[in-house]
Structure 1
Amino acid sequence: MTAADPPAVPCVGAVVHDPDRRLLLVRRRNEPGRGLWSLPGGRVEPGETVADAVEREVREETGLRVRAGAEVGRIRIEAGAVVYDVVDLACTLLVPGARPVAGDDADDAVFADAATLTALPCTPRLVETLRGWGVLPG
């Protein structure tokens, strides 16, 4: 990092599919991406592992309990004074069939099938990135 580079903020995102292969999405309540749909996630708190952080963020934003799995991919999101360095993890629902309830940084939460996802205003590059990683809803 040079003096001109903005600091990187470690973040996580959760790739969660329900038993019908729909993808868990939240509508962001706050910036960045306020009003847009994205994966649940957020900052990694000091002392947290990425697995702990993604499990906490999903619980806070959707009320769902998940178990973090393998890394799906990484993306860097430039946001002015900082860069969000996001690692997205595949997560397994601990209670299959549970319904998400928006909370914390989300003002809505849904499991979206492919048709629903294409109709939602999503954060920039979300659909293209997930397509590239092979994790779009089936």
Structure 2
Amino acid sequence: MRKLTYLAVLEPADEGYGVFFPDIPGCISFGKTIEEAQQMAEEAAGLHIYAMEQEGEEIPKPSKTLDTEDVSGCIVTPITVYPDMIKNEMDNKRVKTNITLPNWLKQIAEENKVNYSRILETALMDYLGLQGKRQGK
């Protein structure tokens, strides 16, 4: 399983800590406490790396150290992300979608306590020839 550890910079602010990653441009977060800032940093970095991979962008290599001038007055903490776990979670995340049915069919389905999600998922997998294949690939 891939593991990436980036150095996050927690910058004290009036109401908490702003977070940025010098190695991951555009990846920022915020937390009211150091612990919350670290948790939010992990989530932000993981989702940012996931989005970069979805777009086919090159994943930056983590630095071992940061220039002390750039982090003066800040807290530097390592943040570890597991890109494959995040991809699996995001790819298999349940999402809502709307469908349109004739009213008479909806009424009969509700009378029979139909689970629309299960039926639609099964029907789509059958229609697309995905039965027996792992989801999220």
Please give the TM-score of this superposition, normalised by the length of structure 2.
0.26
Higher helix share: 2
Higher strand share: 1
- Which has the greater radius of gyration? 2
